[in-house]
């Protein structure tokens, strides 16, 4: 276990008698959490706060909403996958690579909007910004039901991508406000389970809407788009109303609980909320080797994610299953995603070593790519096993999300790094569908081989990143890892991980 993880989970009781002391620094640079602590030095208390009970209370209030957001963002993307076997190609007269282009440009919209998203995440409370965008992308999904040709569907999907751009950075920032580095891993996994649940629910939803008869007012895929869009708008409204902007604004926490929580998460040395935009932190991020290694690893990982999101139902359909059965046969992919996501989330909480868990997930994905690529389609069981195993690759993305939050200090740098990682996920998803070219039908062997190659590359980059973190930690001091040691004004002064020489990288 890396030292940064060890220091965050020593005790489950916190005595909140000690308060932060005054120190040097500009108040404009100070985190709002420190200002809250400074204003609540004399908070009334009788017993130490039970952190285990406090964590459970926080989990039940915020994790379900984050889970629903991530489930719906995946569902709203993946329904295009199911619409492919529900007649959308014929209804909209999609030709040649039109379908791949529609899948690709969703992520083009997402990638382009990451840049302004950095600024909004710095200036607008993450919870409110997230809720607003959930409402807007739900509206875009519902509008997709009205598409009547290639161009109109393309526009609705581009807007969907633009509004979904904030989902991963917002959830990363929100999660990091409430938990220490080691506690974040299973929480990231919980809301990231939405991907696996979305795969299962998507298959069942598609199966249900395929039973709409030819005399229905709407085609099955149109009704699916409309219903899921409305559900998403409802969930977005709940996020705006019920998800606190910061722990300090949680109405369901007492002052004593807030102080105990802020003291507990101070060991992260990454702060809770700082509205000051520091341009030099963006320059630092652009010169930080870890950011580029993380970006490259996520791009390589996400090529396969693009394949899973857009073409898994089509690959199963090409194994001679009818459309209804193809939708149902895709649901085990979600079970594989869920298993590996929980495995890595709790594994990291217990053992750390994020790099090793990433590689453990990549190995079955490479095996799955091999089964898809080199087995004949007549071997349906083997090809299905390959498609299912490839879904193991979705779990490492949650680790990369957690990694960037654990290892980047400075509010502006963290927002920028989170947007870069989300953008690199989009870039991989742009590349993934483009490996499926009409000339390669029905086997799509080049795309399947690309799955294996990119996963092997991701494993290599991940190991290099591990070595980089070990090297960096050897250059830094390892003292002062207790919670009390980080309760000075200096600890909340918004330093980046490179500026703070006591910062320890988790690996």
Question: What is the C-alpha to C-alpha distance for residues 208 and 274, in angstroms, rounded to an integer?
Answer: 46
Q: Is the pLDDT of residue 44 over 60?
A: no
The per-residue pLDDT of the chain, averaged, comes to 80
CB 506 within 8 A of CB 407: yes
With CA atoms as reference, report the closest residue to 351 among 7, 5, 4.
5
Q: What is the mean pLDDT of residues 48-54?
A: 85
- Of 294-298, 340-344, 373-377, highest mean pLDDT: 294-298
- Cα–Cα distance, 169 to 133 (Å, whole number): 12
Give the torsion sign (CA, 168, 174, 178, 181): positive
- pLDDT: is 45 or 409 the higher one? 409
Q: In whole angstroms, what is the distance from residue 412 CA to residue 409 CA?
A: 9
Strand bridging mode 13-14 / 49-50: antiparallel
Residues 6+ apart with CB under 8 A from 330: 82, 199, 202, 203, 312, 313, 316
The distance between the two most distant Cα atoms of the chain, rounded to a whole number of Å, is: 73
Q: Which helix (H) or strand (E) holds 300?
A: helix 289-317
pLDDT at 10: 42
- In percent, the amount of the chain with pLDDT more than 70 equals 84
Helix (H) and strand (E) counts for the chain? 20, 2
- Lowest mean pLDDT of 219-233, 235-249, 330-344, 427-441, name the range: 427-441
pLDDT at 288 over 80: yes
User: Quick one: pLDDT at residue 232?
Assistant: 95
Tally Cβ neighbours within 10 Å of residue 390: 30
Mean pLDDT of 197-215: 80
Could you tell me if residue 96 is left (phi over 0), alpha (psi between -120 and 50 degrees) or otherwise beta? left
- Contacts with 251 (C-beta within 8 Å, 6 or more apart), sequence order: 244
Q: What is the pLDDT of residue 306?
A: 63
Distance (Å, whole) CA 401 – CA 200: 23
Among 143-152, 415-424, 425-434, the least confident range: 425-434
Q: How far apart are CA 40 and CA 20, in angstroms?
A: 10
Q: What residues form DSSP beta bridges with 50? A: 13
Question: In 144-249, which ranges are continuous DSSP H helix?
Answer: 150-164, 167-178, 181-209, 220-242
Mean pLDDT, residues 385-395 taken together? 84
CA 133 – CA 429 distance, rounded (Å): 20
Higher-pLDDT residue of 331, 29: 331
| pLDDT the model gives residue 47 | 63
**How high is the pLDDT of residue 105?**
86
How many CB atoms are located within 10 Å of the residue 115 CB? 12
What is the pLDDT, as a whole number, of residue 432? 72
Cα separation values, 237 from 64, 131, 157, 225, Å: 14, 6, 21, 19
Residue 290: is its pLDDT beyond 80?
A: yes
Interval 393-421: pLDDT, tens: 888 888 888 888 888 888 788 888 888 88
pLDDT for position 2: 47
What CA–CA distance (Å, rounded) separates 294 from 464? 10
Q: 484: pLDDT confidence band, cut at 50, 70 and 90?
A: low
Where do the domains of the chain lie, and which CATH numbers do they carry? 58-492 (1.20.1250.20)
Q: What does the pLDDT read at residue 7?
A: 43
Q: Which two tokens stand for residue 41?
A: 């030095």
Query: If you average pLDDT over residues 156-174, what whole number do you get?
Result: 89
| Confidence (pLDDT) at 26 | 45
């Amino acid at each position: 276990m890396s030292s940064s993880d060890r220091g965050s989970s020593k005790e489950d009781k916190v005595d909140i008698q000690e308060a932060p002391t005054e120190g040097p620094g500009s108040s404009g640079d100070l985190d709002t959490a420190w200002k809250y602590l400074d204003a609540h030095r004399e908070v009334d208390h009788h017993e130490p706060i039970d952190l285990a009970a406090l964590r459970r209370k926080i989990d039940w209030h915020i994790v379900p909403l984050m889970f629903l957001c991530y489930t719906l963002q995946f569902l709203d993307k993946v329904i295009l996958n199911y619409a492919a076997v529900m007649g959308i190609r014929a209804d909209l007269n999609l030709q040649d690579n039109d379908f791949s282009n529609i899948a690709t440009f969703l992520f083009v919209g997402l990638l382009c909007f990451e840049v302004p998203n950095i600024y909004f995440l710095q200036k607008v409370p993450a919870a409110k910004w997230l809720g607003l965008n959930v409402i807007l992308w739900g509206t875009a999904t519902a509008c997709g039901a009205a598409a009547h040709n290639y161009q109109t569907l393309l526009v609705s999907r581009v807007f969907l991508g633009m509004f979904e751009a904030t989902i991963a950075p917002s959830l990363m920032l929100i999660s990091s406000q409430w938990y220490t580095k080691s506690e974040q891993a299973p929480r990231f996994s919980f809301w990231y389970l939405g991907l696996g649940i979305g795969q299962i629910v998507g298959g069942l939803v598609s199966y249900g809407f395929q039973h709409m008869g030819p005399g229905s007012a709407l085609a099955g895929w149109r009704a699916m788009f409309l219903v899921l869009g409305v559900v998403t708008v409802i969930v977005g409204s709940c996020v705006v109303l019920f998800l606190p902007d910061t722990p300090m604004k949680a109405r369901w926490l007492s002052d004593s609980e807030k102080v105990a929580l802020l003291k507990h998460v101070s060991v992260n040395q990454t702060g809770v909320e700082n509205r000051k935009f520091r341009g030099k932190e963006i320059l630092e991020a652009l010169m930080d080797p870890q950011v580029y290694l993380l970006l490259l690893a996520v791009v390589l990982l996400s090529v396969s994610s693009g394949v899973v999101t857009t073409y898994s139902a089509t690959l199963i359909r090409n194994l001679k299953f009818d459309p209804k059965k193809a939708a149902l046969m895709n649901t085990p992919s979600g079970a594989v995603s869920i298993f590996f996501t929980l495995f890595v989330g709790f594994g990291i909480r217990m053992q750390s070593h994020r790099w090793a868990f990433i590689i453990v997930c990549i190995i079955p994905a490479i095996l799955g790519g091999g089964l898809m690529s080199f087995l004949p389609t007549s071997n349906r069981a083997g090809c299905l096993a390959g498609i299912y195993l490839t879904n193991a690759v979705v779990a490492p993305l949650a680790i990369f999300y957690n990694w960037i939050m654990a290892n980047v200090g400075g509010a502006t740098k963290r927002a920028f790094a989170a947007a870069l990682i989300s953008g690199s996920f989009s870039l991989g998803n742009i590349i993934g569908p483009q490996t499926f070219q009409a000339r390669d039908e029905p086997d799509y062997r080049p795309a399947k081989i690309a799955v294996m190659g990119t996963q092997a590359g991701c494993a290599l980059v991940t190991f290099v990143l591990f070595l980089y973190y070990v090297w960096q930690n050897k250059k830094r001091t390892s003292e002062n890892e207790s919670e009390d040691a980080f309760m000075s004004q200096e600890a909340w002064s918004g330093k980046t991980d490179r500026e703070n020489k006591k910062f320890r990288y988790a690996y």
